[in-house]
Amino acid sequence: MSDNSLSPWDLKENHLHSDCRIFEVYKQRLRRRSDGVEGEFFVLDTNSWVNVLAITPKQELVLVRQFRYGTKEFSLEPPGGVIEKGEDPIEAGLRELKEETGYVGENATLIGTARPNAAILSNQCYFVVVENVMKTAELEFDQHEELVTELHSVKNLKRMVKEEQITHSIGLNAIFRLLLHLET
């Protein structure tokens, strides 16, 4: 089936189902244009996110290890977080990097975006590279954050992914985008 034969769906109803503080759940009714088939779907509406790929002068990537409530496990991943309404993704990335790790740098560049889970999430995640980062600031964790900063050689990232040391899907996507960026 080619994209040309796919039929879009039109939103017919949209009702707030639940307000969950960091996201809202909407119950939506949609109708497929080609044949009128209708269905009810739940969509989580939340702010977009940013992941920061911060590289030191020694070509080390700044990663954070933190407890993730969904899996009840520790996760190694790039620092990042929520982009506030109206905030530029690069500025959000620089803010999150500084708050979570104390690192600041230069030449911040947006290298791509991804849809975290297009089946149920309305947002996107931005990937920002920051060069020549150095630890110069104090940490400013949010109330429920507790992170440990780790430095890992950029040349070891593929091995770390193969060994499943990094398993957070958005973090994996960010690292993939970084590796593509570094190829150019």
Query: Which tens digit of pLDDT belongs to each residue from 88-125?
Result: 999 999 999 999 999 999 999 999 999 999 999 999 99
Asked if residue 98 and residue 18 are part of one domain, the reply reads: no
What pLDDT score was predicted for residue 140?
A: 86
Do 60 and 14 sit in the same domain of this protein?
no
Tell me the backbone φ, ψ of residue 124, rounded to 5 degrees.
-135, 165
Q: What residues make up the domain containing 14?
A: 3-45
Q: Are residues 57 and 108 in the same domain?
A: yes
* Identity of residue 73: E
How far is C-alpha 64 from the geometric centre of its chain's CA atoms? 14
Other C-beta atoms lying within 10 Å of the C-beta of residue 177: 20
pLDDT at 5: 85
* Same domain flag for 32 and 55: no
What pLDDT is stored for residue 46 in this prediction?
A: 95
pLDDT of residue 181 exceeding 60, the answer is yes
Across the range 61-74, mean pLDDT stands at 96
